[in-house]
Structure 1
Protein backbone atom coordinates (compact mmCIF):
# COMPACT_ATOMS: atom_id res chain seq x y z
CA UNK A 1 0.00 0.00 0.00
CA UNK A 2 1.22 3.45 -0.90
CA UNK A 3 -0.05 6.97 -0.39
CA UNK A 4 0.73 9.95 -2.60
CA UNK A 5 -0.42 13.52 -3.11
CA UNK A 6 0.25 15.81 -6.04
CA UNK A 7 1.76 19.26 -5.55
CA UNK A 8 -1.44 21.02 -6.73
CA UNK A 9 -3.50 18.98 -4.23
CA UNK A 10 -1.10 19.78 -1.38
CA UNK A 11 -1.23 23.45 -2.31
CA UNK A 12 -5.05 23.34 -2.32
CA UNK A 13 -5.10 21.84 1.20
CA UNK A 14 -2.56 24.40 2.41
CA UNK A 15 -4.69 27.28 1.15
CA UNK A 16 -8.07 25.87 2.23
CA UNK A 17 -6.93 24.77 5.70
CA UNK A 18 -4.45 27.61 6.28
CA UNK A 19 -1.59 25.10 6.69
CA UNK A 20 2.09 25.80 6.89
CA UNK A 21 5.26 23.75 6.94
CA UNK A 22 5.25 21.28 9.84
CA UNK A 23 1.46 20.83 9.89
CA UNK A 24 -0.43 17.55 9.51
CA UNK A 25 -3.54 16.45 7.62
CA UNK A 26 -5.26 13.26 8.72
CA UNK A 27 -7.58 11.31 6.43
CA UNK A 28 -10.02 9.23 8.46
CA UNK A 29 -13.09 7.11 7.93
CA UNK A 30 -16.47 8.47 8.93
CA UNK A 31 -19.88 6.91 8.89
CA UNK A 32 -22.06 8.52 6.26
CA UNK A 33 -21.48 10.28 3.01
CA UNK A 34 -21.00 8.63 -0.35
CA UNK A 35 -18.43 8.10 -3.03
CA UNK A 36 -16.23 5.76 -1.04
CA UNK A 37 -15.34 2.14 -1.61
CA UNK A 38 -17.43 0.92 1.35
CA UNK A 39 -21.14 1.69 1.26
CA UNK A 40 -22.17 4.06 4.04
CA UNK A 41 -18.63 5.29 4.77
CA UNK A 42 -16.53 8.11 3.37
CA UNK A 43 -13.27 9.92 4.03
CA UNK A 44 -13.00 13.02 6.17
CA UNK A 45 -10.02 15.22 7.07
CA UNK A 46 -8.69 16.90 10.17
CA UNK A 47 -5.62 18.83 11.21
CA UNK A 48 -4.30 16.44 13.89
CA UNK A 49 -0.86 15.16 14.84
CA UNK A 50 -0.30 11.48 14.06
CA UNK A 51 -0.70 8.89 16.78
CA UNK A 52 -0.20 5.59 14.92
CA UNK A 53 0.21 6.38 11.21
CA UNK A 54 0.01 3.48 8.76
CA UNK A 55 0.36 5.52 5.56
CA UNK A 56 1.95 8.92 5.15
CA UNK A 57 3.51 11.21 2.62
CA UNK A 58 4.96 14.68 2.80
CA UNK A 59 4.53 17.47 0.29
CA UNK A 60 5.54 21.13 0.68
CA UNK A 61 6.46 20.48 4.33
CA UNK A 62 3.01 19.15 5.30
CA UNK A 63 2.54 15.52 6.34
CA UNK A 64 -0.58 13.82 4.99
CA UNK A 65 -1.43 10.53 6.69
CA UNK A 66 -3.88 7.74 7.55
CA UNK A 67 -3.93 6.17 11.01
CA UNK A 68 -3.59 2.42 11.40
CA UNK A 69 -7.14 2.25 12.80
CA UNK A 70 -8.52 3.51 9.44
CA UNK A 71 -6.43 1.28 7.20
CA UNK A 72 -9.27 -1.24 6.75
CA UNK A 73 -11.08 1.24 4.53
CA UNK A 74 -8.49 0.95 1.76
CA UNK A 75 -8.66 -2.87 1.40
CA UNK A 76 -4.91 -3.08 0.76
CA UNK A 77 -5.10 -0.63 -2.16
CA UNK A 78 -3.00 2.46 -2.86
CA UNK A 79 -4.38 5.89 -1.92
CA UNK A 80 -3.65 8.82 -4.24
CA UNK A 81 -4.84 12.40 -3.80
CA UNK A 82 -4.92 14.81 -6.70
CA UNK A 83 -6.44 18.15 -7.61
CA UNK A 84 -8.76 18.23 -10.63
CA UNK A 85 -8.32 21.55 -12.42
CA UNK A 86 -11.33 20.70 -14.58
CA UNK A 87 -13.67 20.40 -11.56
CA UNK A 88 -11.76 22.65 -9.16
CA UNK A 89 -11.76 20.03 -6.41
CA UNK A 90 -9.81 17.26 -4.76
CA UNK A 91 -10.12 13.71 -6.09
CA UNK A 92 -9.31 10.54 -4.13
CA UNK A 93 -8.11 7.60 -6.18
CA UNK A 94 -8.05 4.25 -4.42
CA UNK A 95 -6.61 1.55 -6.68
Structure 2
Protein backbone atom coordinates (compact mmCIF):
# COMPACT_ATOMS: atom_id res chain seq x y z
CA UNK A 1 0.00 0.00 0.00
CA UNK A 2 1.02 3.59 -0.54
CA UNK A 3 0.14 7.09 0.61
CA UNK A 4 -0.42 9.73 -2.06
CA UNK A 5 -0.85 13.43 -1.23
CA UNK A 6 -1.49 16.28 -3.62
CA UNK A 7 0.59 19.43 -3.24
CA UNK A 8 -2.49 21.28 -1.95
CA UNK A 9 -3.12 18.62 0.71
CA UNK A 10 0.52 18.68 1.83
CA UNK A 11 0.35 22.48 2.07
CA UNK A 12 -2.83 22.25 4.18
CA UNK A 13 -1.22 19.80 6.64
CA UNK A 14 1.92 21.94 6.81
CA UNK A 15 -0.08 25.08 7.66
CA UNK A 16 -2.75 23.57 9.93
CA UNK A 17 -0.43 21.32 11.94
CA UNK A 18 2.48 23.80 12.04
CA UNK A 19 4.80 21.17 10.58
CA UNK A 20 8.55 21.53 10.29
CA UNK A 21 10.90 19.48 8.13
CA UNK A 22 11.61 16.08 9.64
CA UNK A 23 8.33 15.84 11.56
CA UNK A 24 5.84 12.97 11.21
CA UNK A 25 2.12 12.90 10.48
CA UNK A 26 0.36 9.65 11.30
CA UNK A 27 -2.80 8.35 9.59
CA UNK A 28 -4.41 5.93 12.04
CA UNK A 29 -7.51 3.81 12.58
CA UNK A 30 -10.22 5.18 14.86
CA UNK A 31 -13.08 3.18 16.27
CA UNK A 32 -16.37 4.76 15.20
CA UNK A 33 -17.25 7.10 12.40
CA UNK A 34 -17.72 6.01 8.84
CA UNK A 35 -15.49 4.73 6.09
CA UNK A 36 -16.12 3.37 2.60
CA UNK A 37 -13.75 0.44 3.27
CA UNK A 38 -14.24 -0.54 6.96
CA UNK A 39 -17.62 -0.41 8.65
CA UNK A 40 -17.51 1.04 12.18
CA UNK A 41 -14.06 2.61 11.77
CA UNK A 42 -12.67 5.84 10.36
CA UNK A 43 -9.36 7.52 9.60
CA UNK A 44 -7.66 9.81 12.11
CA UNK A 45 -4.64 12.08 11.75
CA UNK A 46 -2.11 13.13 14.35
CA UNK A 47 1.37 14.65 14.55
CA UNK A 48 3.52 12.02 16.29
CA UNK A 49 6.63 9.92 15.85
CA UNK A 50 6.32 6.35 14.56
CA UNK A 51 6.69 3.29 16.79
CA UNK A 52 6.51 0.49 14.19
CA UNK A 53 6.47 2.12 10.77
CA UNK A 54 4.39 0.32 8.14
CA UNK A 55 4.09 2.78 5.25
CA UNK A 56 5.97 6.03 4.70
CA UNK A 57 5.66 8.85 2.17
CA UNK A 58 8.00 11.86 2.37
CA UNK A 59 6.83 15.14 0.87
CA UNK A 60 8.76 18.40 1.22
CA UNK A 61 10.66 17.06 4.23
CA UNK A 62 7.51 15.94 6.08
CA UNK A 63 7.00 12.21 6.82
CA UNK A 64 3.45 10.92 6.35
CA UNK A 65 3.02 7.40 7.70
CA UNK A 66 0.84 4.51 8.81
CA UNK A 67 1.85 2.15 11.61
CA UNK A 68 2.06 -1.56 10.76
CA UNK A 69 -0.75 -2.32 13.19
CA UNK A 70 -3.10 -0.04 11.20
CA UNK A 71 -2.44 -1.33 7.68
CA UNK A 72 -5.31 -3.87 7.94
CA UNK A 73 -7.74 -0.96 7.76
CA UNK A 74 -6.81 -0.18 4.16
CA UNK A 75 -7.73 -3.69 2.94
CA UNK A 76 -5.58 -3.61 -0.21
CA UNK A 77 -6.24 0.07 -0.94
CA UNK A 78 -3.85 2.98 -1.33
CA UNK A 79 -4.66 6.19 0.53
CA UNK A 80 -5.12 9.29 -1.65
CA UNK A 81 -5.29 12.64 0.11
CA UNK A 82 -6.44 15.74 -1.74
CA UNK A 83 -7.65 19.15 -0.57
CA UNK A 84 -11.27 20.33 -0.64
CA UNK A 85 -11.07 24.10 -1.15
CA UNK A 86 -14.78 24.68 -0.48
CA UNK A 87 -14.63 22.99 2.95
CA UNK A 88 -10.97 23.91 3.62
CA UNK A 89 -10.11 20.37 4.70
CA UNK A 90 -8.43 17.21 3.40
CA UNK A 91 -10.36 14.84 1.18
CA UNK A 92 -9.57 11.14 1.63
CA UNK A 93 -10.04 8.50 -1.04
CA UNK A 94 -9.19 4.81 -1.06
CA UNK A 95 -8.24 3.17 -4.34
CA UNK A 96 -7.64 -0.56 -4.75
CA UNK A 97 -3.97 -1.18 -5.42
CA UNK A 98 -2.43 -3.85 -7.63
CA UNK A 99 -0.26 -5.34 -4.90
Same fold (TM over 0.5): yes
Write the distance in 2 (CA, Å) between the matches of 1:91 and 1:27.
13
Write the distance in 1 (CA, Å) between the matches of 2:6 and 2:15.
14
1:14 paired residue number = 14
SS at match of 2:55: strand
Shift of 1:54: 1.4
1:62 paired residue number = 62
How large is the Cα RMSD of the aligned pairs? 1.3
Shift of 1:36: 4.3
| TM-score, normalised relative to structure 1 | 0.91
Write the distance in 2 (CA, Å) between the matches of 1:65 and 1:36.
20
1:10-89 equivalence runs, <5 A: 10-89=10-89
Cα offsets for 1:5-38 (capped at 9, x unmatched)? 1111111011111111111000100101123421
Unpaired stretches in structure 2, ≥5 consecutive residues: none
Unpaired stretches in structure 1, ≥5 consecutive residues: none
Cα offsets for 1:32-65 (capped at 9, x unmatched)? 1123421110011111111212111111211000
Rate the CA distance shift 1:75–1:35 in 2: closer, same or farther, 3 A. closer
Between the two proteins, the alignment pairs up a number of residues equal to: 95
Write the distance in 2 (CA, Å) between the matches of 1:22 and 1:70.
22
